[in-house]
Structures are given as structure tokens and as C-alpha cells.
Amino acid sequence: MTRLSPFNSPLLLGFDHLEQILQRVSKTSGDGYPPYNVLQADDDRLRISLAVAGFSEDELSVTVEQNQLHIHGRQEEDPDAIYLHRGIAARRFHRTFLLAESIEVEGATLDNGLLNIDLIRPEPAQSVRTVEIQRRAAKGGEKRQLYEAARDRKAATTRRGSL
């Protein structure tokens, strides 16, 4: 059976890793539980709040792996409890958020049934640098030396390969 994917285009070669991430995220966050909000607290700060009523700190875990934020929750059920009505969800969950390269997780707090995960987007460092181009006319002797050095390197590589 052929797999349909937007990444099958010959113009998108080499994006297999991105496709795997998107498939993993879509599988883990398809049911909508627990509900969450994403708040922009500042220009460089975000907060993800998940409604996890009934979960304690010990029953929740927050991890970051390869630019993916994973939140796991697992509640232990009381085997002796007798419910007349059970309307509060108490089930396992795994929610994944794909983070941009520059996003860092600052911390997490559990407050009044909300798990708040604070993210920071640091100001990107200036990575553009101008390289000065100098005009220098190569003299005949200099060109010859460059040519001979390249020829010697090639000959040495060929000799090593035939040994």
C-alpha cells in the first residue's frame, strides 16, 4: 500500500525527519485531552497552561527532547473507590508540542489544577558578519606555487590510496 504524504514531492527530498516529527505529534495530540492554552506573556515569553485537575506533581512529567516538549500524566486509581458518578477524567495522557529551535523551557509549576510551563525566546545572536574582500594580484610565481602544492597533495592522496 502506498503512503500518501505531502513530503513525497521531488522538491522536498531530505525532509524525512520533519515528516516523522509531524506524524508523531499528530498521533499524540489527537484526542484533545488535556485541554490547554498558549499565552504570550511578553514579546519573548510564552506560557503553556494545561488543565490537569486531580493530578499531583508526582503524577506529571515534563521533558524536552530534540525540540519537542513532552508532557505525560498518569493518575493512580483507588481500587477501593466506589463512584456514583464519575465526570472528572482521570486517565493517562501524553501531549507533545514542537518547539522552535530558539525556544527554551524556563520551568514548570502546578497551581490550582493548572500545569504552567514557561518558555522563553531569547533574542537571536547576530550571526551575520561582513568579510572584507582584498584585491591582490597573484604573481606568476605565486600561481605556480599554488598549482604545484595542489598537484603534490593530489599525488600524495593517490599514493596512499594505492597502498
Q: Is the pLDDT assigned to residue 15 strictly greater than 80?
A: no
- Range scoring the smallest mean pLDDT among 13-27, 67-81, 145-159: 13-27
Residue bearing cell 523551557: 105
Mean pLDDT in residue range 89-98: 87
Q: Is the pLDDT assigned to residue 29 strictly greater than 60?
A: no
**Cα–Cα nearest to 48, from 68, 28, 18:** 68
What's the pLDDT score for residue 12?
59
Rounded Cα distance, 112 and 97, in Å:
22
Please state the pTM of the whole predicted model.
Answer: 0.59
For 49-93, the pLDDT digits (tens) are: 999 988 999 999 999 998 899 999 998 888 898 989 988 767 899
Mention the CATH class of domain 37-77+87-124: mainly beta
Query: What DSSP character marks residue 11?
Result: G
What's the pLDDT score for residue 46?
94
What's the pLDDT score for residue 43?
87
**To the nearest whole percent, how much of the chain has pLDDT over 70?**
74
Rounded Cα distance, 33 and 12, in Å:
33
- Secondary structure of residue 69 in the 3-state scheme: strand
Confidence of residue 137 (pLDDT cuts 50, 70, 90): low
Buried-exposed string 33-70: b where 16+ CB fall within 10 A, e elsewhere: bbebeeeeeeeeebbbbbebeebeeebbebeeeeeebe
